Structure 1
Amino acid sequence: MAHRARLLIIAAALLGVAALASSASAAGLLLPRDGSIPPLALKHHRVTIDVRDGTAVTNIEQVYVNSTSRILEATYIFPVPDDAVVMDFRLMINGKMQKGEVLEKERANQIYDDIVRRMRDPGIIDWIGKNLFQARIFPIPANGEQKITIQYTQVLPFLDGTYKLSYPLKTTQGTAQTLEDLTLTARISSHVPIKTVYSPSHRISVARPNENEAVIGFEGDKVVLDQDFTMYFGVSKKDVGLNLITYRPDGEPGYFLMMAAPKAVFDTDEIQGKAITFVLDTSGSMTGVKLEQAKKALTWCLDHLGDDDRFNVVRFSSDVEGFEKGLVAASKANVEAAKRFVDGFEAAGGTAIDDALTAALTAKVGQDTHLVLFLTDGRPTVGETEPKAILERAAKANGNRARVFALGIGDDINTHLLDALADGNGGTSAYVKPGEDMDTQIAALYNQIAFPVLTDIQLDISKVKTYAVLPSKLSDIFRGGQLLIIGRYRGDGDALIRLTGKMTGSERRFDFEETFPAKRDDNAFIASLWAHRQVGFLLDQIRLNGETQALKDEVVQLAKKYGIVTPYTSYLVVDESALTVPRPIGPRPPGLVPRPTVVPRRPMPEESRAPAGGFSYDDDEADGAAVRTATAPKKDAYKAESGAGAVDAAKTVRRLKDKERSESEVSAVRRASGRVFSFRAGRGWVDNDASGTEDIAIAPYSAAWTKLAAELPALKAALGLGELVTIKVGSLTLVIRAGGLTTLDAKTIARIKAGTR
């Protein structure tokens, strides 16, 4: 009974926070003049950004919902984006131009102080120190909607050939979401050809109509607004462009992220023809839907071969049969004959993986890049069946350095064999779980590798010491693709980066001059991306070669520092609403209905949900907060070669190794202001480097709290973690808690800045 009562108390407390947090909108607030009414909820948020040679014109459409039975007057607040010189700012309300004003930081901070005291929301801290646009809006119809359209022009920051485009989406409390859609479209045009396009924050689509234009899109329904939209795009006149982004905190080696991409448009003679061998398992276990889907996908691939391509199809079960003895031209007659060959496949017999690989890898290919697309749903049962021997024989047979792309179907496969086969031969591996559409995944994989542009890539960086560079073996670059290289560096200064490879059979060299700085505070996401990829690399070594104490220790060290779920670590996943002390927000006017659908339990990042990412969550309850324990596949799954657990482990490792986005952390570990914080019962977020002593305590939402953010903006991310935070500043330990200082004098500010007791 007591347990049930406690759950009801928790639910009521969380609902109180939800009523406030659900109303907070990204990139602006619509605050009723009546302080007892929370900010209005955001129905939809649509953004169009037109960028021409580094100047961006942003058009925003937001629709807010007034759930009260009263006509409201409100103030619209919009924080002006960082790193931008705003040239113009216009506000349209219901189709009419309205007056507003842009306030400089000093006046804006006074308004932010008022908002902080009214909303008691740590997320507001990020706005302090920014310019502010505000406008009065009246009337807002009762039980109705208010449409606001904003336009502003800004000059994008540009460094070493790379533009950075940011748009504020992160909401206060970090838990709100749109009632309907969030849609963002960016149209980029540049007189210097566009090469690289990358977003560390969102999964974007990129269309390249020509060399000088790109269209970027993101769309989602009921999107959780927990991080700002960030995108980088690089420009270069070279056939292959390379751009560098760095992050280097004080006292540590730096982190770097390189993006390499070819031009978007090629003449016919600039795309080298490829040699491709399709290898398909037709053993008895492929009977039924699996074989029909595979045949359909293979037929689609044959229809999309290029005029200059050569190909072959190899079928294997207990025996091996080729469409032809060797590679043949992709003529219409040959393609039609191959499709008839595929149509006649029947599922029967065992699985002769070794013989099939030998047949594919010993083909005579000449100067063309040879790609092998290998599909199987089973383990080797005919001929050589020992995985180690199969890998050795494949390496010996692959004198032409063919790229092997392995696709495992179902759970009864040897994941260790397929992963090692692909990684050791310049390709990648992927897996189709039971019930997933195989034909779609095969077609998607073929599309990615259909047009090789730069192959046999080598990277050399001079004058700066780099290490722990991932991937350790660089993959080929295909048309429409992009190569991300991430690593650490020591030293600083100007460096020569040389990228070499083969393009249309000829050796090519591309030189780039870039700077590795001694200190750089922004782009902290690179450290997290590197850590995730490094953990993926280490787990792969453990899977394929066995566990050693050194590998295990490094995995645990990185997992603890960055809050990464691994077989050796699990973390409490804490609802964001449980991390802020709930409090009443004043009497609720009649007709103001909370929208529980706006703030559900904080969703986990897509790649962290079982079974796709191999993670699972166990519901629990601790310290009065709703929590879940996030766990990776068990260690036994990493040791196993076959089975559902082994496939989940393989997919988890692949996602870590290929991680490109800085999704919000899923555990009670956060990185903020260059520090690592852990959530501890009764103490809130605690800097892992902080001692148990308390030197200065500051009350959240007080004048001291906002002044600290304004004077030390580098601490804003840490202050925004919540109402109970411990931060190490030099030798000082700051504690944000109730009962702390409400004002700060100049002497105390100077002491904090100096970081001395």
Structure 2
Amino acid sequence: MSLLRFPLLLLCALAAASLPAQADTGSLQIRQADGSTRAVASLDTSVDLQIHGLVADVQVRQRFKNNGMAWQEGQYLLPLPEGAAVYAMTLHVGSRVIVGEIREKEAARSEYAQAVASGRKASLVEAQSANLFRTAIANVAPDETVEVEIRYSQQVEYRDGEFSLVFPMTYTPRYGSGDVLAVPAAPEAGSEIPADAAQTLPAAVTLPLAVAPMPAANVGPPTVSISATLDAGVALARVESATHELSIDRQGDRRRIGLRDKVVAPDRDFVLRWAPQPSDQPTAALLREQRDGEQFALLMLLPPTVAAAPLPRELTLIIDTSGSMSGQSIVQARAALDIALQHLTPQDRFNVIQFNSVTEALFAQPVAASAADVQLARDWVASLQADGGTEMLPALQTALSAPASPGYLRQIVFVTDGAVEQGDALYALLQSQLHDARLFAVGIGSAPNAHFLRRAASLGRGTATTIRDLAEVSGQMQTLFDKLDRPALRNLQLKLPAQYEIYPAQLPDLYAGEPLQLVLKLDAAAKTGGSIELGGERAGAAWAQKIPFELHGQASGIARLWAQRKIDALDDDLRGGAASATLQPDILATALKYGLVSRFTSLVAVDKTPQRNAGEALQSVNVENADPAGSLGFAQTATSAKAWLALGLLCLGLAWLLRAPRRRLCA
């Protein structure tokens, strides 16, 4: 082989090796000696939602069945709702029940690794990111079933006269993230583990272990079953889901809810919605919980707003056209922007920006919304295709760098699936460059990144809207622009007749139909009575409202929600560059006190009895999360399928050229 030919063939080999493998989504895969994969275990999930007023307690049970002939260690990603307070884990093995405990992260990893090495059943839950958790489970015997139960508290949302709750069942892989979990390397039995000893396990690649040939396993796709008990506390007009067909059994004031099909594929988020009777529309609610001598409250206020004449606006529409938006997502995004463009009036100004690996603006600066330019924009948006990486920062910089037009309400609508793992640079830009503009995040797809959407909208002093289905685009966008047409309540201030620590600490702007939802830790001696005073600005004039400070009911889980909001706020400060030496101890202390998983704490459950003999090999495998419904089923977040196809054709061409000289010599 010539010196020229070798590096070219090596380049092709490396390119082929880096192509994303399309495994059976949701099953556990083991890589065999010949490089192929085989499903050796199965996983199914059951979810039970206990909803009481504005708080839900959720139990997630995932069953891990090892269908192979070797002991297994499995890992899988578990997406949970934004702001979920994860507080408990239990491991079920036959009649054995092993209860998890919160530990400092390195201590939990060390305890887990010791258990792995000594052949004991163990499970570990860590925070992968703000709303994505990774679970590892070790020493599952051939043909054995192990069940992991995780519990968390969740806040119910209320908007536009409707309550809602979301349970994520898959996730959109984040651009720029390897989705990895560092866990301590398993030592020899009886040896000590350094606290920082670790190895990296990629989410979609198995460990390079020697694997004996095994017969084909009859492994079906994973399934999810969902049940819910709804005790809304008010008379209900309807209960429904836009994502799944439901079966509903009314039991007095409660509803027992299940899936009509009993089990479903985990390829889209589950969304439950319920609306009160018109006479029971809430205007305020104060729920309290006492825990260990401390008082906590969940406060919801719905300020009355009166529609006013629309103000002239300068609207910048930003659309994500990266590879992760392929399939139905880009169709939904184009439809959303088209509705927004049709909503413009001649008094408005506008621009449209698209981004993937590069950023492109339709106009150099916002222009008047003439009929001709609006039609030009509609045609341009209709031609956009999904391709390339998810480089959001330049697009947002372009939108914010344009000089503000005097007399216009400056609004930015950002349409994306939010497929970035770390949005720190975006958050920093919003904090420093937003000024008087407002950012409204629109999440697209069946499994958008809720944390990114919430955080971007919060810093942008706007709102987050999620559109999961093409049929929802028109209604959701119309609702959004109805809000944007109405002046917001700005610069809100809150005064309570008691001392409190509140989250979010910076009160958001409010739009029509949107309540102010807060969690508070109250002074231990706080009593009901007096008034809650809410003040701010509406259409440039002072506005104020008083609400009686009265207890509406008791609820469990509020303390955990408050602690999780505090941890989230401190985490945001940490990501924004605040001193770790100051914030880390506070995050750690809060997580340990209230028993929550955080970036510095984990849940670990370890059986005390060894079951795998030290001489038997342990194979590590990874669960592939289901592709979000409407996606094209392969990794397109960073690079599109067309790019891989072009690369493959290039490799074939190079191989043909390299063989050509040999044919001439033989001739």
TM-score by length of 1: 0.37
Q: Which has the larger radius of gyration?
A: 1
TM-score by length of 2: 0.42
